[in-house]
């Protein structure tokens, strides 16, 4: 079952992206490099609660 998650910027702490993931395939927290419109640059985004 896919669950909804929110990705937050590690620098400005803004929650920018909503996506889904499969908890069985990826039980740990997701971490990707995405564009932050508040920082105006590509930063690391981590999965939040």
What is the domain partition of the chain in residue ranges?
Answer: 2-48
pLDDT of residue 1: 87
- Percent of the chain past pLDDT 70, that is, above it, reads 100
49 has pLDDT over 90: no
Average pLDDT over residues 5-24: 96
The pair of three-digit structure tokens given for residue 26, joined into one six-digit string? 């990826």
Which of 43, 49, 46, 48 has the alpha carbon at shortest distance from 11?
43
Average pLDDT over residues 29-43: 96
Q: Which homologous superfamily is 2-48 in?
A: Ribosomal protein L33 (2.20.28.120)
The pTM (predicted TM-score) of the whole model is 0.86
């Amino acid at each position: 079952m896919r669950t909804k998650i929110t990705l937050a910027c590690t620098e400005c702490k803004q929650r920018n992206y909503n996506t889904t993931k499969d908890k069985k395939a990826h039980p740990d927290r997701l971490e990707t490099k995405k564009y932050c419109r508040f920082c105006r640059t590509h930063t690391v985004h981590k999965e939040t609660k």
